[in-house]
Amino acid sequence: MSARSSRVTSRDVARLARVSQSSVSRAFTAGSALSDEKRARILEAAKRLNYVPNSIASMLITRRSNTIALIVGNTDNPFYIGVLKEFLAELQAGGRQVLTFVVDPGSSSDDVIMRVLQHQVDGIILTAAQLSTQSTSLCRDRGIPIVLFNRYIPRIETVAVRCDNAGGAETLGRAFLAAGATSFAIIKGDPLGTTSHDRVQGFRDALWRAGIPATALMEIEGGSVYDTAFAAIRDTYGVGGEAIPDGIFAVNDVMAMGAIDALRFELGRRVPEDIMVAGFDGIPEASRAPYRLTTMVQPIQAMVQTTVGLLIDDAGEEGSDPPKIESDIILDCKILWGATLPDAAA
């Protein structure tokens, strides 16, 4: 019954439909000149033979793979999982294939870039991962556009899409001040990442502008994920530790959750009654009943669509070497008031 169709090619279909091989190709190419009658005949023959066009051959000749490489770091942060999902959905909806790579948070994506280049992808999306100058120029030489997502690389002219990390953090800083906090801690993320850096900077700025002395802000390495942030808070403020401040800002939600749990279950403190907490990202988990975290919501969908748009536009034109956008694209984020840091204006 089944056609044992292991190697059905357009030639086989052509033979059965009594047309030329090129007509078969046309039948599977939208908008090519072919009579309806012939197309129908070809399609039927194809169905009978279980023919599926070999896109590898098509890629070779058209030099377009219709494939985007998605390089993801830090998969332990639900935010990037959400980003990954959104990218997959968006690219898939646009008819593109996605080659996904994960890189260890520490390691560089350069070896992955090599594999990506061999695969003739139409574009590269880089999320929460490092990249060297060398790699970017290799891609540029081949005309493969790269877009950085929520990360930029100083001194490398690569387009980046991100949200206003510094501005968002500053807003949160002011929110703490408005709520009456006078002593602070900030839980930092990846020391090499621009995202954490910018949020720290924004928060510091808010305090500095309000005349808060630098000594009123303690900076804690949070390790970017739940477990490490939990441990950092427990160890920093545990028995014989430092005095716990009024307000704690974690540069991402998952660390804020770790901090809250450590405060409650290890240190016996109440949030927000004893300590106020805010995060950044707007992951759904942080809005659940036990947390109801006040946070800055990143517009994932808009950011993803912007990113994909840049890639697709670039890939559309053959010899468009200079990416039209020279500087980063920065989208606004929006505060989501939860219970852990009340809206003083409300």
Residue 38 in the binding site for DNA (CB under 7 A): yes
320 binds, among DNA, its own copies, none (CB under 5 to 8 A by kind): none
Of residues 184 and 230, the one with the C-beta less far from its own copies? 230
Of residues 22 and 55, the one with the C-beta less far from its own copies? 55
62 binds, among its own copies, DNA, none (CB under 5 to 8 A by kind): DNA
Q: Which stretch binds its own copies (CB under 8 A): 134-142, 147-155, 245-253, 304-312?
A: 134-142
20 binds, among its own copies, DNA, none (CB under 5 to 8 A by kind): DNA
Burial 272-303 (b: 16+ CB within 10 A, else e): beebbbbbbbbbebbbeeebbbbbbbbebeeb
Across the chain, which distance is largest between two alpha carbons, in Å?
87
Any idea what DSSP says for residue 183? Answer: S
Closest C-alpha to 25, from 45, 11, 5, 40: 11
Indicate which single residue of 2, 35, 215, 327 sits in contact with DNA (rule: CB under 7 A): 35
Residue 290 in the binding site for its own copies (CB under 8 A): yes
Closest C-alpha to 174, from 39, 2, 345, 1: 345
Give the per-residue contact string, 40-59, with its own copies (x = CB under 8 A; - = no). Answer: ----------x-xxxxxx-x
Residue 28 in the binding site for DNA (CB under 7 A): yes
Sheet-wide strand order for 334-336: 217-221, 184-188, 247-250, 276-281, 294-297, 334-336
Residue 102 in the binding site for its own copies (CB under 8 A): yes
- Three-state SS for 117? helix
Residue 11 in the binding site for its own copies (CB under 8 A): no
Give the per-residue contact string, 62-101, with DNA (x = CB under 7 A; - = no). Answer: xx--------------------------------------
182 binds, among DNA, its own copies, none (CB under 5 to 8 A by kind): none
Of residues 10 and 171, the one with the C-beta less far from DNA? 10
C-alpha to C-alpha distance for 135 and 117, rounded to whole angstroms: 10
Of residues 54 and 100, the one with the C-beta less far from DNA? 54
Residues 186-245 that bind DNA (CB under 7 A): none
* CB 264 to its own copies: min, Å: 7
Residue 58 in the binding site for DNA (CB under 7 A): yes
Q: Which stretch binds DNA (CB under 7 A): 17-25, 143-151, 282-290, 292-300?
A: 17-25
The terminus-to-terminus CA distance of the chain in angstroms comes to: 70
Residue with tokens 């919501």: 297
Closest C-alpha to 279, from 293, 264, 265, 290: 293
Dihedral, CA of residue 271, residue 223, residue 297 and residue 345, to nearest 10: 40
Pairing, β 146-149 against β 123-127: parallel
Do the beta carbons of residue 302 and residue 333 sit within 8 Å? no
Q: Which two structure tokens, joined as six digits, stand for 333?
A: 């984020």
Measured in whole angstroms, how far is the alpha carbon of residue 77 from the centre of its chain?
Answer: 11
Q: Which stretch binds its own copies (CB under 8 A): 93-101, 157-165, 166-174, 213-221?
A: 93-101
Would you tell me which residues interact with DNA (CB under 7 A)? 7, 9-11, 19-23, 25-26, 28-29, 33-35, 37-38, 53-54, 57-58, 60-63
